[in-house]
Structure 1
Amino acid sequence: MATLNLDYSTGIDQYVDDEEDLLLAHYRGEALIEQPRNSLFYLTTKERENILGWYSFQDKEVLEIGSGCGCITGTLCDSSKRVVSVEQSQKRARITFERHKERENLEVYAGNITDIPFEQKFDYVVLIGVLEYAQRFFLEYPADSFFLKKIRSLLKPDGILLVAIENRYGIKYFAGANEDHLGEPYVSLGGYSNRDVKTYGKKELEELLGNCGFPATKFYYPFPDYKLPSVIYSDEQLPSYTEAAMLPIYTYGNAVNFSIQETMAGIVKNGQFDFFSNSFLVEAGTNLSQFSDITFAKFQPKRTEDYQILSVKKNTNDFVKSPMGSRAKEHLENYQKIHEKLGKSGIKVCKVQKSSSEKEWQAEYIEGKSISELVDLAGEKSGEKGIKLEIQNLVDFFYSISDYVVLDNPVLDELKELYVEPTYVLKYGLMDLNASNILYQSNIGYVLIDQEWEESRQIPTEYAILNSLGYLYSTCPTLKSFYSLTSLFEEFGLSREKVSVLEKISDYYFIKSNPVLDEEKCEIFEQLSQYEIIQDSGASWAEKYASLSSHTKLIEDELHHQNEQVGFLSEHYNRVVEHIRQMDDQLQGRNEEVTNLSIHYNRVVDRIRELEKQLDERNQQLTDLSTNYNRVVKLLNDSEKNGD
């Protein structure tokens, strides 16, 4: 069982948070949170673990500083020999403990990191959303350097620091979204003048770490941010500009001034993705060779736990897929069978094989162009004609792996009314067949990747065409210059009636027929992904109210942080007072010693004077004896002379 140590805490939290009280009661089994929303969702969802859920701690010892409510503590325990979790707030430390109390390798401390006398050094130190608050934790200046140097002293010589933090130059801040901590737009871009929170750009953070004993760094770029990441890039594996156009972006209710995804596509084209990433995850140490060999990680936050799969890419370029839920292993077994079946049929598909450990599946890395890139380049070169030709080639490929049949066993009964005549249906029931899961090689042609789903009932080929057109419209900037989404559908034979029916297939298959997607999570993440683009300066009263409500929440959050700071300062004040009391006791002891020494000194001086007086007397006696002796000698001499 985990342990909780309160010896280094004042025992008093200087702020009150009803949601944290509810959270503590929930993990103690005294209350039930059935459908957490807003901040409770943020504090309880397993997606918080994604920031390090892919990282291997190699069964080493980990120090987590600032555990908060233990949102990622569990995933640290999963792959570490021992985890020591430190949290300034006693209430949050208790939540962390109650949340993970069944863990045998967890020790939770409440208190300030500078007050805890650790007896050993650690292999890893983890800071998730903590470094930016250094000025609230420490009075030393500069606080961030003091904090990082303290961490360096807690690490083994080859130890690694992992830091997750917002980028002060994140693209959402340029778009006008409020700064995450202070609730004001553009404040990070101006340099946090006279604020007690501070985030950094990439170069600033790299230099800060280098000056504090971490000369080697490796940067990762989690999206939408480090708090709820669904995909993590690195300098070795950056998104293409078409992938950037589909990146999830969370502005947490803030309206912005432009489409962030469209802007990110241009930023990637110009090689500036790292500068504008909304968040960073940094490995920091003394040698690059110590760092992870993973260059890319992807999660599926909208799926139910049984279908949660982690996909990572390593330096070897192979993709590795691992099950994250109880049924996910079975799903990956089926994924391998689908790819083997497609390969035997003559369809070009990436090879998938199970690893020797039987815990991972390796998917062959395919070097090729995405369909989005092909269409976009065709549009840049030949305009609408080039776009139409490139998409038609893809459509023809879909028909080449289809059968022309009567639709008598469709995946959705409503399709029978739509297709009363024979139509094309996909061979092998490939639910995942669309432009996002296809690459093109000039010497081979189309190659399928990531075909996870196989349906025995009939799936119209136009379902794959519909999904592909929607995906291409979102990822190809040039396409929007020539088509609206509706006109694009019509160009390839998809009427409004067809679209309205075909769109129902995904919801039916992945939510109602099969529990693949978590409907509640889909709703939450869909809300997080939506943001309003300000078109003019006139806002409706509803918009103003929404903005005011959002700003009020941010003010409440800032007040919460300010109260927390008061708590931290109060604890620091108490430590200073205690230190002064100890010094006063020491001074009083020294004064007593000086008094005793003074008395002893005076006694010694008096004794020396007595001895000097006695010595003078003895000297006088000696002088008198010498005089008498001389007289006697003289008398004797005189007597002898008279006798002669």
Structure 2
Amino acid sequence: MPMNDEMQDEQVDLNERYHLDSESGVLFRFSEAARSNDPVSAHVRAVLSAANDLSLFSEELRASWNDLPAQYALSPVRANVLRPFEAFLRSDVLEVGAQYGAASRYLAEAGARLVAIEPVPARAVAAALRTRDCPSARVICDSLRDFQPDVRFDVVTILNAAESAAEWTSEGGMRAMLERAASLLRPDGLLILASENRFGLKYLSSAKEPGRDALLFSGTGSGDGDDPSVFSKADILDALGQLGFGMVEVAAPFPDHRLTRSLVTPAGFEAGRAFDISVLAAQSALRDPSLPNALHFAIEPAWRAAGRDGIIENVANSFVYAARRDSSATCFDSADLAYHYSTDRRASFCKMTRFRREDGIQVERRKLSEGAPGTEDSPFLFVVEDEPFHSGRSFDADFEAIVSTPGWNVDMLASFYRRFIDMLVAESAARACNVELPVHASTPIAGALLDFIPSNICIREEACPLAQRYVAYDLEWRAKETLPLGFMVFRSLLNLSGFVSRYAIPSDPALLNRRSLFAALFGALGLSFTEAECLNYWRRESDFLEFATGSRQLVSAQDWFGSNLPTGSGEPMIDPAQFQVAAEEAESRAAALAQRTVELERQCEFYQSRLAESGEISERMKRLQREFNILSEQYGRRCQEEMLSKKALEDAHAAAAESLRRVAVLTKELRHSARPSLAERAARRFIRIIRNADGGR
């Protein structure tokens, strides 16, 4: 971008005071030593010198983040604190304290006509290397105290205020530095200042700023142990007011201003309970690589408690001050509540999320790079969508509450995960991927749920039907194929366990080993977790992270699972050998459980077949019952007929007996008649007839 006339005049004036080092591209004062060699600077300079892609989101540079100092020096996350002011940066900008040029690169790409000053020669060389293909940027090795330009600037940025103020300690520290910076602004100019808050939660929990030994707050009450270069928020506001700045807006970056992930605006703080900023603060806490292992208290629950009590505005780790002399000139849109930046990934996947108060609260997202994602040949998809803001409790807070409770156990975690699995099953069915019950590790889940993890689930507090008591949000990553349920449980636990700063001591200390924790949870859920399955899940997650970030995992599965969870103590809770024994026992139990699961499945199949057979038998029994009823009815009729026949026979017998008696009487009488022989013959014949009628009896 061509410079304006004032900047061209300044170029002449600067050349009168500085000489251009042709090798490094840095403007040095004639008396300045051009070389110094600390290990970090040497590494960064070597990386930048060899790089072909120096852009803000360079994947080539990302591959060289082998430690925290290199990440601070090269990460695009360093520039996020300036993104809310992008509309003001297409102007003449002075950057005070350029360090290694990460923010300088962003300013140049945003369209600034940039002058970056850095007092440390080695750092100035690195900043010049980072911006060497940006014609609108110049790097000067000089201090704010000695820098004497003949023009003023539209914007002055001081992103490392405490470090820059250290050289002013004998003259009033921060206040003197601000006075000098204000003198370099045009009347309608903007001063952007980022500084630590000595009462920030992470500092109260014993954290220190990288490269500095002094605590920001010593807790002595006298202030003798505090870092003198760090002023309180009240001190800075008072100093800016005395310097004639009529409008000072204060925003809070999280986890801090050095590697900003989220930034809450003044309107965000004023929104109250309608906009829970503690979620942004808590979820960004473990994104801070400067946190020590030993903390006085767990950071994440502390942020949530601070949100409930409405004091986050006072205990943020850092503040960003936007100061202008015009009391009516604001920088932040009154409708913008907060911003969230996802910039530690491939350029085509970097995005900005804005929380905006408009017909309620809306969540708006946009990509920060014009490059296409290139997902055609990948098993994953990247989706950027707007959506309404959901009020409620973040589901990952329930996990934090469990592991922050002394004496927690695997049954408590299993109860949490059963709820999660129920949600997974319901969401998968809603995406036309029905799940057969009971579930097992290989149960297929809809690929669209790759990003369905507790930190992306909001639990609604208001009364509503069971199916509506939770809502998923920001499901930006999706798989094209179904995913095994075991992997989804693994991925969510990997995410949750990695973003808790301090665990309470569980009832079984073996759970503080990552491998033991995973094996115990899978066992409690009735899911197999063999060594092969563990490595398969790890490879799946590593492949996804490489796709999203462009970088391969630096930590092996063996090293990660062999490590312990942080407890706030520097001492290991149990012997690593004990962990190994517990892990082997858990694996053995998992194998036995898998075998038992197979046996139970076979028994289920057997009983299902028997049940089908019993159905056939039941039908046969019904048919037999019907036949029995018919035969019983027929038998009843036969019996009735026989009873009638028997009575008739008995009546006949009685009649025959009476006849015989009469015959006997007649016979006796006939014997006295004149022809006895004829009478006898007649009687005998009559008797035969009667006997024949009686069946020969």
Asked if these proteins are the same fold (TM beyond 0.5), I'd say yes
Q: How far apart in 1 are the matches of 2:323 and 2:289?
A: 27
> Mapping of 1:137-536 within 5 angstroms?
137=168, 141-178=171-208, 180=210, 182-185=212-215, 187-190=217-220, 193=224, 197-237=228-268, 240-241=277-278, 244-246=281-283, 247-248=285-286, 249-251=288-290, 253=292, 255-286=294-325, 287=327, 289-293=329-333, 294-300=336-342, 302-316=344-358, 317-325=361-369, 327=371, 363-370=386-393, 372=395, 394-395=423-424, 397-398=426-427, 400-401=429-430, 403-404=433-434, 419=442, 423=443, 425-427=444-446, 429-439=448-458, 442=464, 445=468, 446-461=470-485, 463-464=487-488, 489=521, 493-497=525-529, 501=533, 504-505=536-537, 507-508=539-540, 511=543, 515-520=547-552, 532-535=566-569
Shift of 1:392: 7.4
- Report the alpha carbon displacement of residue 61 of structure 1 after superposing the two structures with TM: 2.0
Check whether the contact 1:300–1:308 (CA below 8 A) recurs between aligned residues. yes
Alpha-carbon RMSD:
5.1
Task: Check the 8 A contact 2:29/2:141 in 1, yes or no.
Answer: yes
Partner secondary structure for residue 322 of structure 1: strand
CA distance in 1, matches of 2:551, 2:529: 25
**Distance (whole Å) between structure 1 residues aligned to residue 504 and residue 211 of structure 2:** 38
Distance 2:505 2:215 in 1: 30
Which residue pairs with 2:109 in the alignment? 78
Which deviates the most, 298-307 or 207-216? Answer: 298-307
Q: Which moved more, 1:72-81 or 1:366-375?
A: 366-375
CA contact (8 A) 1:164 1:280 kept: yes
Alpha-carbon distance in 2 for matches of 1:45, 1:311: 19
Matches within 5 A, 1:554-565: none
- In the alignment, the residues of structure 2 paired with residue 156 and residue 291 of structure 1 have an alpha-carbon distance, to the nearest angstrom, of 16
C-alpha displacement of 1:67:
1.2
The Cα of 1:56 is off from its aligned counterpart by 1.0
Q: Which of 33, 44, 50 is residue 74 of structure 2 equivalent to?
A: 44
1:108 aligns with 2:139: yes
Cα deviations across residues 306-351 of structure 1 (Å, max 9, x unaligned)? 422232334544433333456455679x9xx987xxxxxxxxxxxx
Q: Is the 8 A contact 2:420 2:454 kept in 1?
A: no
CA distance in 2, matches of 1:378, 1:18: 43
Question: Structure 1 residue aligned with 2:99, among 68, 83, 88?
Answer: 68
Greater relative contact order (CA < 8 Å, ≥ 6 in sequence): 1
Displacement of 1:150 after TM fit?
2.4
Q: Is 1:17 the equivalent of 2:37?
A: yes
1:56 aligned to which of 86, 91, 98: 86
Post-superposition Cα deviations, 1:192-216, rounded to whole Å, max 9, x if no partner, equal 5388742133333322322222343
Q: Are the equivalent residues in 1 in contact too, given 2:124–2:141 (CA < 8 A)?
A: yes
Q: Alpha-carbon deviation of 1:64?
A: 0.8
Alpha-carbon distance, 1:125 to partner: 0.8
Q: Is the 1:338–1:452 Cα contact (8 Å) retained in structure 2?
A: yes
User: How far, CA to CA, are the matches of 1:123 and 1:331 in structure 2?
Assistant: 41
Helix, strand or coil: the match of 1:296? strand
TM-score after normalising by structure 2: 0.59
Report the CA distance between 1:396 and its aligned residue. 5.5
For residue 93 of structure 1, give the secondary structure of its aligned residue in structure 2: helix
Match of 1:299, SS?
A: strand
Check conservation: 1:125, 1:160, Cα contact below 8 A: yes
- Say whether residues 1:127 and 2:146 are aligned partners: no
Structure 2 unaligned blocks of 5 or more: 4-10, 20-27, 53-59, 270-275, 403-411, 512-516, 577-697
The letter of the residue matching 1:517 is T
Contact 2:301–2:400 (CA under 8 A) maintained in structure 1: no
The 8 Å contact of residues 136 and 196 in structure 1, kept in 2 or not, is answered as no
- TM score, norm. by length of structure 1: 0.63
CA shift for structure 1 position 516: 1.6
Q: Distance in 1 between matches of 2:491 and 2:550?
A: 20
Deviations 1:561-587 (A, max 9, x none): xxxxxxxxxxxxxxxxxxxxxxxxxxx
Contact 1:217 1:288 in 2 (8 A): no
Q: Secondary structure at the match of 1:310?
A: strand
Query: 1:538 offset after TM fit, Å?
Result: 10
Per-residue deviation, residues 6-35 of structure 1 (Å, max 9, x unmatched): 257253349833332454455445999973
Aligned CA distance change for structure 1 residues 457 and 323 (closer, same or farther; 3 Å): same
CA separation of 1:27/1:480 partners in 2, compared to 1, >3 Å: closer, same or farther? closer
- 1:220–1:281 Cα contact (<8 Å) kept: yes
Matched residue type, 2:339: A
Task: Report the secondary structure of 1:290's partner residue.
Answer: coil
Identity, in percent, stands at: 18
CA distance in 1 between partners of 2:329 and 2:385 (Å): 23
Whole-angstrom distance in 2 between the partners of 1:475 and 1:319: 26
CA gap 1:229/1:135 in 2 versus in 1, 3 angstroms: closer
**For the structure 1 residues 487 and 242, does the alpha-carbon distance in structure 2 shift closer, same or farther, using more than 3 Å as the test?**
farther
Please state whether the residue corresponding to 1:72 is helix, strand or coil: helix
Alignment coverage as a number of residue pairs: 501
Q: Is the radius of gyration larger for structure 1 or structure 2?
A: 2
